[in-house]
Amino acid sequence: MTTKILVTKSSMPPYEEYIEAIKPLWDTHWLTNMGIYHKQLEGELRDFLNVKELSLMVNGHMALEMAIQMMGFPSGAEVITTPFTFISTTHAIVRNNLKPVFCDVKDADGTIDETKIEDLVTENTVAIVPVHVYGNVCNVEEIQRIADKYNLKVIYDAAHAFGVNYKGLGIGSYGDASVFSFHATKVFNTIEGGAVAFKEHLYYEKLYNLKNFGIRGEELVTSVGANAKMNEFCAVMGLCNIRHLKETFQSREERYSFYKKELSGIRGIRLFEEKEAVTKNYAYFPVCITEEYGRTRDEVYDMLAEQDIHARKYFYPLTADQACFRNKYRDMNLSVARTLASQILVLPFWADMEFDKLQYIVDLLGKFGGAI
């Protein structure tokens, strides 16, 4: 097989469907500033995600940054979070002039270790920012118990968890706010985009001001804000893609099940535990390359790359260990997270990925390492 295999491929509607859907934009010339498609998508996503309130944003990072900003935390306050995530999570905290306090994660699923959170709470702690990494759901009950005990806000990074439900509720229903990403590589995309889900309507007004310069009328600016609005072309892409989500999830589940079954015969390849009462979105297929495999994760990564198969080391290094922080957090006890970061490999996986490509990757992994 000589075709390049990337880690993912964007889901897109039929070309003709999107072109037909954007034609009205040429008639109205209304391309941004919360037009009719923006409002329509906001409503449809609110219903699909089973959340009370939702505010669309230009991308997932700005959604998280503004969700944190709207809470009005004092400069220099501490936020407990996970280092096992995309750098955006940490940057959103730092760019709000807050101090990230990194908590180790669980080996079973990569989510924040709720048993270690309480020991990190100080008089300067104002919030917890956990991540539903790869769509694996955090222990939302225990996190909320701790937050209530110490009067902390909980803002979930749910960038990987679009469409995930837990105990019959949309995952965005938990905490004070949850943030989604609609980047081109996600299960659901608007080319670029994101959203904040929440319960209190007051947050909608705060986020509206933050994403639209604080403008409330032609001659009225009530607060200082930025520009983080989603444009109409992206909103239309979202409206098209949302129509195909049922078949997208079904296709992903079929391929996920194939990988899971076929890889079970290879010694040393470990999958994360799956939590009960969770409706999955099958967003990623992460595996841990353990010592039993007989090869390191990096050796596997290089072997696949030589075959033009581009897996990803999500997430290595940890955000806490990135160069931009200049070893500031190197002494923190993050042993589980650092071990996971050295083992994790996200395999190529998307909704209409050909099964022969899946089998090809499985065969390569079996021959390279410890097939039973």
Q: What is the pLDDT of residue 249?
A: 98
Please write the tens of the pLDDT for every residue from 122-174: 999 999 999 999 999 999 999 999 999 999 999 999 999 999 999 999 999 99
Q: What is the pLDDT of residue 192?
A: 98
Q: What is the pLDDT of residue 337?
A: 98
Which parts of the chain have pLDDT scores under 50?
none
User: Residue 169 has which token pair?
Assistant: 């509720």
Amino acid at the residue 264: S
Q: What is the pLDDT of residue 1?
A: 65
3-class SS string, the chain: CCCCECCCCCCCCCHHHHHHHHHHHHHHCCCCCCCHHHHHHHHHHHHHCCCCEEEEECCHHHHHHHHHHCCCCCCCCEEEECCCCCHHHHHHHHCCCCEEEECCECCCCCCECHHHCHHHCCCCEEEEECECHHHCCCCHHHHHHHHHHHCCEEEEECCCCCCCEECCEEHHHCCCEEEEECCCCCCCCCCCCEEEEECCHHHHHHHHHHHECCEEECCEECCCCCECCCCHHHHHHHHHHHCCHHHHHHHHHHHHHHHHHHHCCEECEECCCCCCCEECCCCCCEEEECHHHCCCHHHHHHHHHHCCECCECCCCCCHHHCHHHCCCCCCCCCHHHHHHHHHEEECCCCCCCCHHHHHHHHHHHHHHCEEC
Domains in the chain (CATH in brackets) are 15-242 (3.40.640.10), 245-371 (3.90.1150.10)
* pTM exceeds cut of 0.95: yes
